[in-house]
Chain A
């Protein structure tokens, strides 16, 4: 049975080749870019790594929720999710350039001498503590994701239900730890790009977008496998329908959080808070802001609301692709106005950084996926998942 649910070597190869090229081209581009314009490189790279890391964190969140709720329907897609989540360790390594780039990225490293606010924050926003925190965050995420992954793989061998229980025991406190560390990470890596600005909801905002992007990736990758005849009978329209519901729900939740943040800042109109949004209305940034309103919420809201849309796999794949792009735009919109205040300047390094991180993560992802069965073959709820129907 394990063999039947393992990706063929040929297929792994076929997936790997373009990813290797993506990594090679991307990294060469990054090196050249770093020499020419280090500041631009670091910003482009930050967008890229945060984008992919957020997807992996979304996967971690998804998997832990499945365990905590003893979800049955999702077992057939859980191994894919687990493999995405397992890649947080690669993200940790890929995060090193960000730490090197701190002086380029973060204004709080060299504040103006009369900036009293940043002086008060120096106890938190300083390079040593910043790096130490990043190590702790990644430590937590790698620890949890490895433990859960290990149990899931071990179950393929011995089929013991004990592994589910252990994963559940990891997941319950894991969700709490993920939220605490992830929120602080969002404060550190994204919010402190504009070190005077603050918003208590920012951590939730980061997570809601991550969840959207991960569910979108899960749909897309399952569809990719389906096209090649893998898991085409196991992941049914019922599962896609449910994943579509989640994509819709997280998109609406993201919009709720985004609206709450914008609306409260707009309404109170305090200068220490409105600056962040004002930057994002300057020049061509205004169009990006509007694109996010319409593209990240209004269009998918209308497009995904009906049952027919969620069960039409072609359309659902298109929407998943669309949401992945929108999540990138969202991260770009959070990060890049710090670099180019007066308008969008798309740079070739944005593409190079994207290719580099995507390629590297993709190669590891594919080889990890190829090593084990592609579904948790001995999960006690697998049969429930296989026979699952939306009623």
Chain B
């Protein structure tokens, strides 16, 4: 199905014979049903991975940063790669909730909740790496400019400090945005809850929501304001992350296209992760009526667009490295593509630039299996992009006598796998306790569609929940 059907009408975004009530049922059911056995199995696996993360971090703190593979000249390696990787994953959430909201893209309503949740979990995973890379994690609070007796201040001229501000702002606003969106749905769950504890907890967090016109009015204003505030954050966070590299004078890091290029890459990787998780959730919880082919088609198109922007950035960098006639620039890029890390470079190119090109074909945008595979490719490719930028620019520095080849240790690898464990554990908990699709917003879309397509599809127009 394309976004434009034969008669050039808008495709429907909520399928099946839906009423307000059936939507509430279909989505609340996921939370209210008895926890399925598969959930426990999945939780056991991801929980185990999370425990491994804890063990690796404990070992790191007790022993020192040397347990990672970082060493001069590669002083930054998997730690910062993983940091940028996870921060990037988070960007789709804010893009979907803020920017697509401002662009009146109604299809966002089925995926925004899960994408925003993913944002928060990804930011949590990202935070681990710089936090532990400071070495003495117990004094990490020195990163904040606190006026205390020692009179020590962080270096305000360092983008690493701006990261602290940018990421914490981003985390806070994303959390607020997600929470504000959740309030009406939490009230729905409260009203449906059977046990006292559930009723109490959902009740507390729904802040006394009763769905009155006044409530809705305030809610809409708050939502619009938060969308407006989040929009610059989509750009600023990853721009600041890119400054970590681009303000330096290192060839391969210092280039002016970095900020928008990083932002596009972040959205790209984030959409891939949303795609991976939503396809799984759609399959596991049978959400085909809400996450329709139209949604998937649109997501494929966004991945194609952002993947191609990333490809444009790779090409521009390469071209300008030649055009600059600066032999250090030229060496860095030739070394990336044909040096000892050529394998990583070509993984990056194949996964990020070539694989999404398959979405030029409508058939491929309809094929769930292809989508899933490509989304995994993109996740891999975007990790390698950060690895390529960071490690290949460092491993052969200005002094050939210190050139070396970075090798990850088992601690690097297990920490990274562990962070996936944390991410997935949090996501599993989310699917268990909160509505994974924004019930109230999907109802808004349904109301709009009933209005547009006549009233044939649903009976109760004003059903309460």
Q: Which residues of A contact B (CB under 8 A)?
A: 70, 116-118, 120-121, 124, 161, 164-165, 168, 172, 176, 179-180, 183, 187, 198-204, 245, 252, 256-257, 260-261, 263-265, 267-270, 272, 380-381
Contact = CB atoms under 8 A, between A and B. Distances in A.
A161 B5 CA distance: 10
B12 interface: no
A165 B4 contact: yes
A201 B260 contact: yes
22 contacts: A118-B325, A120-B325, A121-B323, A121-B325, A124-B323, A164-B4, A172-B360, A180-B315, A199-B256, A201-B256, A252-B232, A256-B235, A256-B239, A260-B239, A260-B259, A264-B247, A264-B256, A264-B259, A265-B256, A267-B243, A268-B247, A380-B9
Given A172-B360, A183-B312, A201-B260, 4 more contacts: A179-B312, A257-B260, A380-B7, A381-B8
Contacts of B317: 200
B316 interface: yes
B3 interface: yes
Contacts of B256: 199-202, 260-261, 264-265
B45 interface: no
A152 B6 CA distance: 18
B326 interface: yes
Contacts of B248: 268
A360 to B, nearest CB: 33
Interface of B: 3-4, 6-9, 102, 232, 235, 239, 243, 246-249, 254-260, 308, 312-313, 315-317, 320, 323-326, 360
A36 to B, nearest CB: 35
Contacts of A260: 239, 256, 258-260
A270 B259 contact: no
Contacts of A202: 256
Nearest to A260: B259
Nearest to B2: A165
Contact of A161 (B8, B315, B320, B326): B8
Given A256-B235, A260-B256, A272 B247 contact: no
Contacts of A267: 243, 247
B8 A200 contact: no
Given A70-B3, A70-B4, A168-B4, A204 B325 contact: no
Contacts of A272: 324, 326
B353 to A, nearest CB: 12
Contact of B323 (A161, A187, A256): A187
State the 7 A-B residue pairs at the shortest beta-carbon distance, nearest first: A380-B8, A200-B257, A161-B8, A120-B325, A201-B256, A260-B259, A267-B247
B327 to A, nearest CB: 9
Contacts of B8: 161, 164, 380-381
Most buried by A among B3, B239, B256, B258: B256
A70 B102 CA distance: 16
B258 to A, nearest CB: 7
B254 A200 contact: no
B254 to A, nearest CB: 5
Nearest to B308: A176
A264 B4 contact: no
Given A117-B325, A256-B235, A270-B249, A198 B259 contact: no
A194 B134 CA distance: 43
Contacts of A70: 3-4
Contacts of B325: 116-118, 120-121
A19 B278 CA distance: 56
A187 B4 CA distance: 37
Contacts of A245: 102
B254 A268 contact: yes
Contacts of A117: 325
Contacts of B315: 180
Given A121-B325, A270-B249, A200 B316 contact: yes
Contact of A198 (B239, B246, B308, B323): B323
A308 to B, nearest CB: 15
A7 to B, nearest CB: 27
Contact of A183 (B246, B308, B316): B316
Contacts of A164: 4, 8
Given A168-B4, A261-B256, A264-B258, A198 B316 contact: no
Contacts of A121: 323, 325
Given A264-B247, A268-B248, A204 B257 contact: yes
A238 B254 CA distance: 43
A108 B247 CA distance: 29
A183 B8 CA distance: 34
Given A121-B325, A380-B8, A264 B249 contact: no
A172 B300 CA distance: 13
Interface centre among B243, B255, B324 (most CB of A within 10 A): B324
Contacts of A124: 323
Contacts of A161: 4, 6-8
A274 B246 CA distance: 15
A89 to B, nearest CB: 26
B141 to A, nearest CB: 27
B259 A200 contact: no
A344 to B, nearest CB: 25
A268 B247 CA distance: 5
A12 B106 CA distance: 40
Nearest to B245: A264
A112 B277 CA distance: 59
B272 to A, nearest CB: 20
A267 B255 CA distance: 11
A252 B234 CA distance: 13
Nearest to A265: B256
A171 B262 CA distance: 25
Contacts of A201: 256-257, 259-260
A198 B232 CA distance: 27
